[in-house]
Structure 1
Amino acid sequence: MASPQTREMGKTLWHQTLPMAVGVMALLGFNLIDSIFIARLGTQPLAAQSFTFPVATVIIGVQVGFGIAIAALISRALGADEPARARRLGSLVLLGGSAAMLLLLVVLWLLEPIIFRLLGANEATMVLIHQYWGPWLLASWIGALLYLGYSLFRAHGETRLPGRMMVLTSLINLVLDPVLIFGVGPFKGWGLAGAAWATLIAFVIGLLVLAKSLSRRDWLSASGLRQEAGVSLTRFMSIALPAMASQLLPAVSALAATGIVARLGEAAVAAWGLAARLETFVILVVLGLTMSLPPWLGRSFGAGHWQEIRALMNLAARVVLVWQLVLGIVLSAAAMPLAGLLAGNEEVRSMLAMLLHFMLPSYAFLGICMLVVSACNALGWPRRAVTVSFMRLFVCYLPCLSLGAWLGGFMGLGIGAAIGNVLAGVLAWWSYRRILGDKGRESGDMISSQQHERLS
């Protein structure tokens, strides 16, 4: 039976994770909802959108790297009772992150023809991608600004507002999608590009609301920024760059995977894109934990509470493993009707159902791997996070995916992806037990109930 301390810890973790999980579900609904509507336009528009998915992982990887650094440094400053420094850090990372994301998106805009020809898009698909690319990149920049703001809230232990904002922007996108994609009355829809414009409008509204909420909080400072940058820039980049690397590795992997899938045909690319969007939706609890857990781990790290860190990791791992296994098995059994809801084309629907049968249960092990990577970044071991991510993708996932596609075609692709996820989870947990688990066991630090109440 769980101890009172563990039960209290689980309750606190649940209250911090639930708003983020709901918010992530709503935020990920953007891509999934877009894909459902775009699928009604035909296989080619859906394939065009699917070609942009690996590029989206590059953008997300960079902004998540900034978010990890924000959460790690600010939560550590708060744990060490340095609120003035936390305010300076907040201002610096918001300004620097916004500029860096804008530069990245301008580069991607200029490289559009090169990127998609390398991925295997044909000329007809390239025309559709071009219509979608500009507004989608602009929406991605506004979305990155929103994410940086959410990270600042999470660093201060406030998860409810980001969760609500994600729900709000997703609902706005849901309302605008059919209007801008298909049109209403005399208004002619914009097709594939309409999905990007709907997302852009939703993000702009969300950013305005978030900025107003942030103005009411004393979390930013305009004084002492130059001095703070000189002191903290190296430390920030030592966390952000490895975190970006660990997040960008999935982007490189997604690019390689798309190249493998493209050899199996346009319908295969469309089904793979839908499965990728559904994957992020299915693991929303894991994503919620990777957002809510690091600030708590960071505060515990700043205070030297290693026993609490170990207890938190064990608790989170049990939640991930049990929840994702049960959910994966249930959804795998309903793969065919689920694919029918997402895909309009019969061939795409059959391929998607085949992928879901094999891949959904394996997300439990993928979740364990993601949890370990997130913890490594929060606890000041970014190189270990990069190592775990690299092993997951380039030792486990891609070799299994490529071998499966070579031996068994599209079915082999799904089996290979599932085996790769399982191997990655086992390898990541072994790494945690060897590195982080030993550190927790060596510490004799047992926090008092008063300290626990303060952290909660």
Structure 2
Amino acid sequence: MIFGIATLISFNLVDTFFISLLGTEELAAIGFTFPVTFTVISLTIGLGIGTSAVIARKLGADQDTAARHVGSSALWLSALLVGVLSLVGFLFSRPIFALLGASAEIQILIDAYMNIWFAGAILLVIPMVGNSILRASGDTKTPSLIMGLGGLMNAILDPLLIFGLGPFPALGMQGAALASVISWSIGFSIILYLLIRRKRLIDPLPPSVTEFILSSRKLLTIGLPAAGANMLTPISLGILTAIVATHGAPAVAAFGAGARLESMASIVILALSMTLPPLISQNFGAGKITRVQEAYKVALRFVLLFQAAVYLVLLASLPIIQTAFAREEAVADVLAWFVIIMPLGYGVQGCIILTNSSLNALHRPMQALLLSVLRLFVMFVPLSWLGNHLAGLLGLFIGGVIANVLTAWMAYRWFMRLTDAERGNGHDEKKPAGAGTEMPVTEATVAKSSATQKEGEGRYGA
């Protein structure tokens, strides 16, 4: 999971590096695009969560035909929703980015990048949701390889198309977007071949409109709350970008580069947020609430220690980071404050993210969504705004760290109270009432769902 997430995030980080070589205005433009592009990606992640959960349950119950129908519906539903969202983004691009604080000059650069990005967004969503189908069947290696190939292609094409090396024309911002779309198209082709022809995990089309509607309802029941929680992050980031924009283009350029560094620094947290929930779900289903709490606490302790080490690495690498992303002294100064202050909160931010995914594992998606709202719009954005009002950008960064610390403490208390209540209801160390109404997901049933999986893989998806 770490490898797969790293390659996915590398798309934005590599784009940011090469675009920074074009100038500060270009780097500021790509900073403005991040909240919008991540909104689309967040919707896709939520749909992938719903897809994986529904298909894994079907495969675990030996309902292979039903699983193929759900998989087909998932791809068509994802393409439809992202297509509509991209069209809306394209039509209202100028008012959206003007609201974020982009000037008319920077808007021209944003359009050069985003028009191509919006046109190719469906080529991004299909591989992401398709990878969720593969993981639901027990195959975790192939998705990582597909994402790795896409990241490699993007890194190769970026300098060729941005700067016009060799026979390629110099396309600037358009070249960066085109490199990403070409990379997505390769993953698009591979994933459809694997799902339809090689592994036969989906059918090209849902069997009927009725089946498509029924499958979509199941997918959206799980996927929409997860997507909503994910989409709150870019919305809050958009608000912060608008606040930062009041300090000028260099501040936006540095903030955008810092946001991408944060994504890379949080790879292990994101990987754990996808691997901890199956462990929690299995033990919750078995009534082992004490083990749920132990797993949760171990993950939190690890994240705090690991992110402390990440902070030290970022501090030591600050001169390299400034050289890589800053072409002006003003950008370098803001980026230095970002790296010195913001990573202090990455450990506790990881605790919040793991609590959120653990609540989903306990079948409490609405409470997970509520935690996201509390973190971002009750704590993070207001305290960042207050810090900016009192002390400028330095205060904004400090306010964000304080917000993460307070929210992490509340999230931990919240999760422990919920699980203590489950133990108090007599669910500890015994199977919950009604659990026998569903077919257990055993190694034997999972093995039937995928000939490629190892022993034990896939058993927790349902």
TM over 0.5: yes
Change beyond 3 A, Cα 1:436–1:211: farther
Q: Is the 8 A contact 2:206 2:212 kept in 1?
A: no
2:400 maps to 1:417: yes
Change beyond 3 A, Cα 1:187–1:75: closer
For 1:254 and 1:400, the matched residues in 2 are separated by: 13
Q: Is the 8 A contact 1:68 1:240 kept in 2?
A: yes
The one-letter amino acid of 2:202's match is L
- Per-residue CA deviation, residues 157-213 of structure 1 (Å, 9 max, x unaligned), is 322111121111111111111110011146431011110011111111122122222
Change beyond 3 A, Cα 1:185–1:84: closer
For 1:260 and 1:71, the matched residues in 2 are separated by: 37
Q: Is the 8 A contact 1:88 1:220 kept in 2?
A: yes
Deviation at 1:122, TM superposition (A): 1.1
- Aligned counterpart for 1:43 among listed residues 20, 24, 27: 24
The one-letter amino acid of 1:106's match is L
2:152 maps to 1:171: yes
Deviation at 1:355, TM superposition (A): 0.6
2:426 maps to 1:445: no
Alignment of 1:207-356 (within 5 A): 207-214=188-195, 215-221=197-203, 228-229=211-212, 231-295=214-278, 297=280, 309-356=292-339
- Per-residue CA deviation, residues 26-57 of structure 1 (Å, 9 max, x unaligned), is 11111111111111111001111111111112
- Aligned counterpart for 1:90 among listed residues 71, 77, 81: 71
Aligned to 2:374: 391
Cα RMSD between the aligned structures? 2.6
2:94 maps to 1:110: no
- Aligned counterpart for 1:52 among listed residues 13, 25, 33: 33
Aligned to 2:365: 382
Q: Is the 8 A contact 2:160 2:166 kept in 1?
A: no
The one-letter amino acid of 2:367's match is R
Deviation at 1:228, TM superposition (A): 4.6
2:53 maps to 1:72: yes
Change beyond 3 A, Cα 1:132–1:237: same
The one-letter amino acid of 1:181's match is I
Change beyond 3 A, Cα 1:238–1:289: same
Query: Which stretch shows the higher mean deviation, 58-67 or 294-303?
Result: 294-303
Q: Is the 8 A contact 2:97 2:107 kept in 1?
A: yes
For 1:203 and 1:232, the matched residues in 2 are separated by: 26
Aligned to 1:427: 410
For 2:143 and 2:291, the matched residues in 1 are separated by: 26
Between Structure 1 and Structure 2, which shows a larger proportion of helix residues? 1
The one-letter amino acid of 1:314's match is K
The one-letter amino acid of 2:198's match is R
- Aligned counterpart for 1:364 among listed residues 347, 366, 390: 347
The one-letter amino acid of 2:270's match is L
Secondary structure of the residue that 2:345 maps to in structure 1? Answer: helix
- Aligned counterpart for 2:186 among listed residues 196, 202, 205: 205
Question: Structure 1: 5+ residue runs without aligned partners?
Answer: 1-19
For 1:229 and 1:295, the matched residues in 2 are separated by: 27
The one-letter amino acid of 1:201's match is I
Deviation at 1:234, TM superposition (A): 3.7
Secondary structure of the residue that 1:146 maps to in structure 2? Answer: helix
Change beyond 3 A, Cα 1:320–1:75: farther
Query: Which stretch shows the higher mean deviation, 45-54 or 67-76?
Result: 67-76
Secondary structure of the residue that 2:356 maps to in structure 1? Answer: helix
For 1:48 and 1:164, the matched residues in 2 are separated by: 31
For 2:330 and 2:97, the matched residues in 1 are separated by: 24
For 1:354 and 1:403, the matched residues in 2 are separated by: 17
The one-letter amino acid of 1:54's match is P
The one-letter amino acid of 1:240's match is G
Aligned to 1:137: 118
Q: Is the 8 A contact 1:76 1:302 kept in 2?
A: no
Deviation at 1:74, TM superposition (A): 2.4
Deviation at 1:298, TM superposition (A): 5.2
Change beyond 3 A, Cα 1:48–1:145: same
Secondary structure of the residue that 2:120 maps to in structure 1? Answer: helix
Deviation at 1:451, TM superposition (A): 7.5
Secondary structure of the residue that 1:41 maps to in structure 2? Answer: coil
Secondary structure of the residue that 2:171 maps to in structure 1? Answer: coil
The one-letter amino acid of 1:290's match is S
- Per-residue CA deviation, residues 95-142 of structure 1 (Å, 9 max, x unaligned), is 211111111111111011111111111111111111111112233331
Aligned to 2:389: 406
The one-letter amino acid of 2:348's match is F
Change beyond 3 A, Cα 1:233–1:194: closer
Q: Is the 8 A contact 2:47 2:129 kept in 1?
A: yes
